[in-house]
Amino acid sequence: MSILKSVALKTVATGIDFPLQVFDRIGEFQTLRDLLADLKVDCVIDVGANRGQFASELRGIGFRGDIVSFEPLQAEFEFLNKAFAGDPRFRSRRMALGGRSERLEIVVPGLTVLASLRRPNFQSRNSRSEMVDVGRLDQVLPELMPDWASRRLFLKMDTQGYDLEVFKGGRAVLSGIVGLQSELSVLPLYEGMPHYLEALATFEAAGFELHNLAVVNRSADNGVIELNCQMRKPVAVR
């Protein structure tokens, strides 16, 4: 038994409770940093950017490539652009992404990171709705990035139950995507959202392999509510 493991076991045996979410997040950020470097990613497509939390995390872990963010909510989009006004390698588009081009109503709870094109299974004060434009990634990306096919793209999806629709709308550009991250709900937070195992199977069927699962949210009894799933193309096809 290693010294580190021995110390860890003795510490836990004392009954001390450590903040699990802190350790979960540190491990996730370190894994993401190493994955982006190993895949030689030069552009991250940030779908469901909200106010730029993930983009800020990317810069925080040292990623210096291009970031293309998609955010449909007007107020959050304006905040996002102000936050990255001084970043020359940041671009954004005010729209949602999905399986087809259309205009849909998005439900916006008081906590806007939970906004979704699906109806929530939870109660939220101050909920409202907006009509937003929805487009396909494989139609929008060639316009924003004509050289996409020669890039090393990483697709991040955090759309509160709509990630598989986003993925469906990117089928024609998957050849340029070497890795992805998707938020999976173990507990269904929105109506009609796919089971997390269905999401994993869909990504695997498209040629991606599981790289890491990181806990995003835990329940009061420390059970898993949501996971961030990181996947990558196999070495032979990257």
Query: In the predicted model, is pLDDT for residue 133 greater than 80?
Result: yes
Average pLDDT over residues 137-152: 96
Q: What pLDDT, on a 0 to 100 scale, did the predictor assign at position 78? A: 98
What are the tokens at 137?
A: 């990634």
pLDDT digits (tens, 9 = 90+) for 152-181: 999 999 999 999 999 999 999 999 999 999
Q: To the nearest whole percent, how much of the chain has pLDDT over 90?
A: 76
Average of per-residue pLDDT across 6-15 = 78
Q: Which residue has the higher pLDDT, 22 or 183?
A: 183
Q: What are phi and psi of 97, to 5 degrees?
A: -115, 145
Does the pLDDT at position 237 exceed 60? no
What value, to the nearest 5°, has the Cα angle with vertex 21 and ends 20 and 25?
120
pLDDT tens readout for residues 72-110: 999 999 999 999 999 999 999 999 999 999 999 999 999
Helix (H) or strand (E) run with residue 177 in it: strand 177-185
The string of pLDDT tens digits covering residues 197-210 is 999 999 999 999 99
Tell me the DSSP string of 89-114. Answer: TEEEE--EE-SS-EEEEEEE-SSGGG
* Assigned fold of 21-95+137-237: Rossmann fold (3.40.50)
For residue 168, CA distances in Å to 6, 40, 41, 186 come to 47, 24, 22, 21
Handedness of CA 137, 155, 51, 91 (dihedral sign): negative
Task: Name the average pLDDT for the chain.
Answer: 93
Mean pLDDT confidence for 167-196: 95
Select the more confidently predicted residue: 176 or 221.
176
- The predicted model gives 17-39 an average pLDDT of 87
Tell me what the mean pLDDT of segment 193-220 comes to.
93
The count of residues in the chain is 238
Q: Between 3 and 163, where is the model more confident?
A: 163
Sheet strands side by side (includes 153-157): 90-93, 66-70, 43-47, 153-157, 177-185, 224-232, 209-218
Which percentage of the chain shows pLDDT scores above 70?
97
